Amino acid sequence: MREKPLLTIIVPCYNEEEVLAETMKQLGTILQDMKEKMMIQEASDLLFVDDGSKDRTWEIIEIASEQQPYINGVKLSRNFGHQNALLAGMKTAEGRADCIISIDSDLQDDVNVIPDFVEKYREGYEVVYGIRDERKTDTRFKRNSAHLFYSMMGKFGIHLIPDHADYRLLGRMALQEMNLFPENNIFLRGIVPLIGFKSEKVYYHRKERFAGESKYPLKKMLAFAADGLTSFSVAPIRLVTGLGGLMFVIAIIIGIYTFVQHLSGTAENGWSSLMLSIWVIGGVQMVSLGVVGEYIGRIYSEVKHRPRFIVEKDSYDER
């Protein structure tokens, strides 16, 4: 069993004035409760990250942080998006907290499982994923389509944890490694499984938003999905190469066909040469594009400067 940790709960907020008071109340209660039960250290806190809100969000955070010692805030200079707001919180907590939990500010994720997260951490897990279990009550169609999505992403080489969003606990080690992924378009959900370490899942029921409306309109959601795909996979580039190859094969078939027509004398003058050049040149162009794409893909994965390995333990440590 690990020592009781210093926990920081990170809450990204974008125009959340309607829910914030309630969120502070519920998270505050849970936090005090865990302190009384000696599960976490007295200095454990809530860290609200204001992601450039245009409403009273920051005011609320500022006032609360003056009144309550366990409430802290970070204000970003403009709207950087959910993932970056989370990252800002994680960077701020790094070095101070033994573990962090990230949770949305809208109370959709059940706050009552937070003690379970901490419990798992103390049992030695470095990463704890919050998993929605309402799929049990979902229609079969919804369940199947979600599973199809996860298995397709898997085929692209992106291994996501099914039914997990950004409700998770990270221990100090995981947090440090996480902050070593310096890419700009970060997709945390895809990165966390990459860092490894001992991980565990906690199931919870996802509710409706407590108040206000979703800050993720369809446009942002599509951009998010595209980010996820392109920052983890060169599969789209491979697709072009594949198409080129396919065109080449078609070119050969059409070539034979054209040749036969030419020999049998049924072809119009000039038709054969035109037909051949269209397909051969097309195929060559496609393959070349794919080759160029491969190199760009490589440059792309190099410039991300992701760590090549992550050490969990070594025997030098203990000496």
Binding site for ligand UDP (CB under 6 A): 12-14, 16, 51, 79, 81-82, 85, 104-106, 108, 214-216
Tokens of 39: 């599960």
Which residues, at least 6 apart from 61, have a Cβ–Cβ distance to it below 8 Å?
Answer: 13, 20, 48, 50, 71, 73, 75
Question: Closest distance between ligand UDP and the C-beta of residue 112, in Å?
Answer: 18
149, interface contact from ligand UDP, Mg ion, none, CB < 5-8 Å by kind: none
The nearer residue to Mg ion, 103 or 237, going by C-beta atoms, is: 103
Tokens of 125: 């897990």
Tokens of 85: 């707001």
The nearer residue to ligand UDP, 123 or 138, going by C-beta atoms, is: 138
13, interface contact from ligand UDP, Mg ion, none, CB < 5-8 Å by kind: ligand UDP
126, interface contact from ligand UDP, Mg ion, none, CB < 5-8 Å by kind: none
The nearer residue to Mg ion, 24 or 247, going by C-beta atoms, is: 24
**Residue tagged 């509710």 (tokens):** 207
168, interface contact from Mg ion, ligand UDP, none, CB < 5-8 Å by kind: none
CA distance 319 to 306: 29
189, interface contact from Mg ion, ligand UDP, none, CB < 5-8 Å by kind: none
DSSP three-state, residue 122: helix
Residue type for position 313: K
DSSP annotation of 101 reads E
Question: Closest distance between ligand UDP and the C-beta of residue 78, in Å?
Answer: 10
295, interface contact from Mg ion, ligand UDP, none, CB < 5-8 Å by kind: none
Select from 108, 231, 233, 241 the one that contacts Mg ion (CB under 5 A): 108
Question: Closest distance between ligand UDP and the C-beta of residue 180, in Å?
Answer: 23
Is 231 an interacting residue with respect to Mg ion (CB under 5 A)? no
The nearer residue to ligand UDP, 206 or 238, going by C-beta atoms, is: 206
* Binding region for Mg ion (CB under 5 A) out of 97-105, 174-182, 251-259, 291-299: 97-105
85, interface contact from Mg ion, ligand UDP, none, CB < 5-8 Å by kind: ligand UDP
DSSP annotation of 220 reads H
The nearer residue to ligand UDP, 78 or 155, going by C-beta atoms, is: 78
Select from 45, 50, 106, 110 the one that contacts Mg ion (CB under 5 A): 106
In sequence order, which ranges of 164-204 are alpha helices (DSSP H)? Answer: 172-178, 188-195
Question: Closest distance between ligand UDP and the C-beta of residue 84, in Å?
Answer: 8
DSSP calls for 231-292: TT--HHHHHHHHHHHHHHHHHHHHHHHHHHHHHTT-SPTTHHHHHHHHHHHHHHHHHHHHHH
In angstroms, the first-to-last Cα distance of the chain is 21
**Contact (CB, 8 A) for 43 and 5:** no
What is the three-state SS of 135-148? HHCCCHHHHHHHHH
Site residues (CB under 5 A) for Mg ion? Answer: 104, 106, 108
